[in-house]
Amino acid sequence: MRAIILAVTVAMTASAAVADETDDAHRLAVSARNDYWNCLAREFPRESNKSLSEQDFGALIGSACPSERQSFRVALADFLGLQFPNNEADANMTTANNAIALAQKDIVTAFARRKAAAK
């Protein structure tokens, strides 16, 4: 009986530790996402960007904020690896890359709308 109680206690403790690690990874991924978005947002209103075409602005955004982008990619892939341990690592990296592409697309779309409204 003691062995069963000990096994259940160890399993519960391990489960709580994994949950804490996943929560920490989630917080880190959200923080990295916010840092990346804030960096992209700083590029949006620059006076020098107003004369750019949508395509040129998209290229600028694609190369902007490299350290923030990489931190977000790594943090999100790490979180996904904990959240979905049976996923392939490549699938988690693809999801992280897709999240980055969507962030960039959103900024470029906002740029195009602002530029169209200014005409």
Per-residue pLDDT, 19: 63
pLDDT tens across 102-115, in order? 999 999 999 999 88
Decide: residue 32, CB within 10 A, 0-12 exposed, 13-18 middle, 19+ buried: buried
Per-residue pLDDT, 20: 82
User: Dihedral angle at the C-alpha atoms of 84, 89, 95, 97, nearest 10 degrees?
Assistant: 150
Apex CA 61: angle with CA 100 and CA 63, to 5°? Answer: 85
Asked whether 39 and 64 are in contact (CB, 8 A), the reply is yes
Per-residue pLDDT, 1: 55
Reference 53, options 118, 108, 103; nearest CA is 108
| Phi and psi torsions of 50, nearest 5° | -60, -30
Asked whether 73 and 93 are in contact (CB, 8 A), the reply is yes
Per-residue tens of pLDDT for the chain, all 119 residues: 555 654 444 455 544 445 688 899 999 999 999 999 999 999 888 888 889 999 999 999 999 999 999 999 999 999 999 999 999 989 999 999 999 999 999 999 999 998 888 87
